[in-house]
């Protein structure tokens, strides 16, 4: 079955770049997503990448996809204290009626 793995915690100084990593197992995944969850809130879609792309940039966010290694990363440039949250990677395998498989989430702590 599908499995999505992430490291649980990342601490970064304000102004530095953050890189959050994710590995997945289903090679038929069509789309891969990054969601952000702030304390006490629901999930907010940050960005997504189609499986035939290897990079997508959106303002401070850069998503890199290595399809051969089934590795996805999210880079946040100039990390701010407001970026402190849990970041979830999710995949949508082909033909699964939009069902997403989520990773366990990476808690990003931004220090001054």
Partner 1 sequence: NAGVTQTPKFRILKIGQSMTLQCTQDMNHNYMYWYRQDPGMGLKLIYYSVGAGITDKGEVPNGYNVSRSTTEDFPLRLELAAPSQTSVYFCASSFPPRSSGGRLITDTQYFGPGTRLTVL
Q: Using the structure block, give the residue that is written with the tokens 């969850």.
A: 37
46 touches partner 1 by CB under 8 A: no
For residue 65, the surrounding DSSP H or E stretch is strand 61-66
53 touches partner 1 by CB under 8 A: no
54 touches partner 1 by CB under 8 A: no
Q: Could you give the C-alpha distances from 58 to 64, 76, 96, 112, in angstroms and in order?
A: 12, 10, 27, 25
Q: What minimum distance in Å lies between the beta carbon of 99 and partner 1? A: 6
Return the residues of window 4-43 that contact partner 1 according to CB under 8 A. Answer: 4, 8, 30-31, 35, 40-43
What distance in Å separates the CA atoms of residue 60 and residue 68, rounded to the nearest whole number? Answer: 25
Which one of 104, 108, 110, 112 is in contact with partner 1 (CB under 8 A)? 104
């Amino acid at each position: 079955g599908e499995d999505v793995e992430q490291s649980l915690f990342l601490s970064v100084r304000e102004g530095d770049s953050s890189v959050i990593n994710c590995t997945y197992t289903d090679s038929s995944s069509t789309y891969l997503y990054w969601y952000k969850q702030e304390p006490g809130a629901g999930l907010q879609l940050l960005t997504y990448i189609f499986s035939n792309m290897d990079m997508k940039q959106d303002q401070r966010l850069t998503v890199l996809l290595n399809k051969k290694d089934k590795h996805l990363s999210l880079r946040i440039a100039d990390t701010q204290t407001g970026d402190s949250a849990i970041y979830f990677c999710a995949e949508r395998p082909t033909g699964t009626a939009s069902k997403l498989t989520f990773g366990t989430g990476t808690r990003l702590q931004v220090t001054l």
